[in-house]
Amino acid sequence: MSQLPNSIDEKSFDENGDSNVKVNTLVTTASTTVSTTVFTLDVKLVNVEVTKFITNLFNDPSTANLTSEVQDTIKLINSQAATVVSTINTIFSDILDDNKLDITEVPKLVLLVNTLVTGELKALISSGKLQSAHVIGVVKALFITLVEKSLIAVESNEQVVKLFESSVALLKGAANIKDEISKLEEFITNLFTGKNLDLYKLNLDPKVEKLITLINTDAKNIIKTIHDTIKDVLHDGKLDASDVPKLVLLITTLMNSDLKKLITSGQINLDDIVGLLKNLLQGLIDNSLMIVDNAESMFKLFDASLMLLQSNFEVPSMSSITACCVPIFAKFSKKA
């Protein structure tokens, strides 16, 4: 955020010939803090100026001191989701109903981000043209710029910025996980259909490629089972030891699904299904679609757990798998 010189800035607003209303702001240069004196403004006049500024900014973001990334995001939004400007102006009008921006208004700024990400900008985010982090950056830059240009009053800009960043971090994390799950769904679909595979770093075993072909021919419905399990594994944004029982349960589910007839006929075996899942997980890791602290250790835990399946394919519940595997997890965790 750019620093402002020490000054007493006096502005006036004039609407329809009414008497001017003066705005006095005191700005300090210490650190990044911008403090503003408490002042009395006509809410209508303030909103007129703020609305005008925001609208003009979206028409030409170069008129303000914004980073190139924020400017590019604003241009993209304005070209493909022009109604966003109206939404932003509406929420800022609500924020300024008491003539100033303070920490009690931060939830409204976070709500603005969430409204845009899950509403008017959802299509752009789903298509990969925009990320939730970009939307957060625009909202943050917007209120900082409004303060710097003395268009809105704020008691402690630094405090508001810090609270906004900490509050929106939770939203950003949730949004990022949602973004990653969307990309994961696309990856799994492409892997099983053979579409757009050139977009990914893949090193598929020939046996896995053969199994994928068989699945598309004789067991297409298991693709959803695989997708749902991997999505559940990633609900917290990463793959860790606590997810291994889910992966083992997925193997047993697959072996007792439509793949069972392929096993009975001798076309595939347990190793082929395990190989498929390993190739899938490795592909997700290599393409940064799955976070894992120690991939080698995770695969060792997975292999050790799968030893339990060699003599019996039927595993009745997640609890039984967890009970069997916990001692093994503990053993390998100490070595890792």
In the chain, what are the domain boundaries? 7-178, 200-335
pLDDT at 176: 57
Burial (CB count <10 Å: 0-12, 13-18, 19+), residue 265: exposed
Residue 75 predicted with pLDDT over 90: yes
CA atoms within 13 A on the CB side of 249: 21
Q: Which of 277, 276, 260, 272 is nearest to 219 (CA)?
A: 260
Higher pLDDT, 328 or 233: 233
Distance CA 214, CA 218 (A): 6
Which pTM value belongs to this model? 0.44
pLDDT at 328: 44
pLDDT digits (tens, 9 = 90+) for 17-43: 343 333 333 333 333 333 333 334 455
pLDDT at 216: 84
pLDDT digits (tens, 9 = 90+) for 236-289: 667 888 888 888 889 988 988 888 888 889 899 888 999 999 999 888 888 877
Please state the three-class secondary structure of 17-54 as a single string. Answer: CCCCEEEEEEECCCCCCCCCCCCCCCHHHHHHHHHHHH
Higher pLDDT, 331 or 122: 122
pLDDT at 196: 76
Burial (CB count <10 Å: 0-12, 13-18, 19+), residue 217: exposed
User: Is 150:26 a contact under the CB 8 Å cutoff?
Assistant: no
User: What percent of the chain is predicted at pLDDT more than 90?
Assistant: 7
Distance CA 249, CA 277 (A): 12
Residue 158 predicted with pLDDT over 60: yes
At 18, which amino acid appears? D
